[in-house]
Amino acid sequence: DDAFAACEAESAATGVELLGAGLATARAVTDRLDALAFTRRASALVGTTDPSVESAAALLRTAGVDRAGSVAVRAVDVRGTTGVDTQRVERALGDLLVDRGFRVDLDDPDHELRALSFFQPGSMDPILARALVNVAGARPGATLLDPMCGTGGLLLEGALVGARVVGVDAQAKMAAGTRRNLRGLVPDAPAAVCRGDATRLPLADGAADAAVVDVPYGRQSKIEADSLAGLVGDALAEVRRVAPRAVVVGDRSWAGAARDAGWTVERSFERRVHRSLVRHVLVLAR
C-alpha cells in the first residue's frame, strides 16, 4: 500500500521518497494535492531524527520555525510501530516552544507541529478508484478511457478530478447505468459512454491520453477463463492503439498479456483486499 500510495503521489508531487510505514517526503507539490486518494496530509518538513523525545527536541531547538500565530503539537505513532509515548512527546515539545516564546492554542492553532514516529523496515472502493485514475494520469484537460467501464466508478473519479472521460462496455445496461451515474453525480463533466467491444474500440488512434482497465474477475465474471485471457490480451492491444499509458487492475497479474500486447510494464503492485482477494495493479507505458 505504501509503494502504491507513493506512486499515486507522484501524479501531484516531485521527488517522492518513502521514509517508512505511512510516511514519505517530496521536494515539491502541485495544486492537485487535494485530489489524491491515499495522501492524508502534506506538511512542511522541519527535519527527521531517530524516534526519541530527546532527538526531536534537539532538532526543534535548531529549526527555523515561524513564530507568527499560535501553535499546537500533535504526536502520532504511525501505525503503532515504535511504542513512543505520544503524550510525553507533545508535552516536551510544547514546553520547548513555550520557552522559546510561542503561544500555544490546542483548539484552534494557526500552526500545528506534528511529530510522526515510524519504524523503517467486488465493487471497487472509491478511494482505490481515485488512486488508479490519478496514477493513470487523469487531470484537467486530459482524456481518460475505460474500455470495460461497468457502472462507471473509475470514470466518475476521473471526472471528479477534471478529466474528460470516455467509457465503453459490452452490455447496454451497464453503459446506460454509467451515463445515469455520471449525469447524476457530475452533470457538467465532459463524458461519452457507449456500448461497444473493448477489442474494437470506436475511437481513433491516440484519442485518449490514458486508460484505466478493471479486468472482470474470474469468480464474478460469466466469461470462461480461456476466453477471458483472450479478451484481455486483445483489449490491451486495442487500448495501446488508443492511449499511450494505462493502468490495469485485476484479481491476477496480467503482466504477460500486457507485454505480449506491446506494453512496457513500468511498475506493479499487489493490494490485499481480504483473505481471498488480492488486486494486482500494473502501470503500463507504450
- The verdict on 206 and 142 lying in the same domain is yes
Picking from 89, 117, 145, the residue at the C-terminal end of a domain is 117
pLDDT of 285 > 60? The answer is yes
Per-residue pLDDT, averaged over 256-284, amounts to: 91
- The verdict on 97 and 149 lying in the same domain is no
Residue pair 252/225 in contact (Cβ under 8 Å)? The answer is: no
The domain in which residue 106 lies consists of 2-117
Give start and end residues of each alpha helix (H) in 82-171: 86-99, 126-136, 153-160
- The verdict on 103 and 51 lying in the same domain is yes
CA distance 188 to 196: 24
- The verdict on 91 and 131 lying in the same domain is no
CATH code for position 268: 3.40.50.150
> 119 falls in which pLDDT band (50, 70, 90)?
very low
Give the torsion sign (CA, 179, 182, 188, 194): negative
- The verdict on 280 and 231 lying in the same domain is yes
Residue pair 42/66 in contact (Cβ under 8 Å)? The answer is: no
Amino acid letter, residue 179? R
- The verdict on 181 and 225 lying in the same domain is yes
> 253 falls in which pLDDT band (50, 70, 90)?
very high
- The verdict on 193 and 91 lying in the same domain is no
Picking from 53, 86, 117, the residue at the C-terminal end of a domain is 117
Strand order in the sheet with 191-195: 191-195, 164-169, 143-146, 210-214, 245-250, 277-285, 264-274
- The verdict on 93 and 189 lying in the same domain is no
- The verdict on 135 and 84 lying in the same domain is no
- The verdict on 99 and 152 lying in the same domain is no
- The verdict on 143 and 276 lying in the same domain is yes
Picking from 117, 135, 157, the residue at the C-terminal end of a domain is 117
CA distance 56 to 93: 8
Q: Specify the pLDDT at position 189.
A: 95
Q: CB neighbours (10 Å) of residue 79? A: 14
Closest CA to 111 of 69, 76, 64, 63: 69
Over the stretch 138-151, which tens digit does the pLDDT of each residue have?
Answer: 999 999 999 999 88
- The verdict on 101 and 203 lying in the same domain is no
CA distance 204 to 206: 6
Q: CB neighbours (10 Å) of residue 125? A: 14
What separation in angstroms does the CA of 131 have from each of 4, 10, 31, 34, 241?
A: 9, 11, 16, 12, 24
Number of structural domains, the chain? 2
Whether this model's pTM surpasses 0.75? no
Instruction: Provide the grid cell at 52.
Output: 526519541
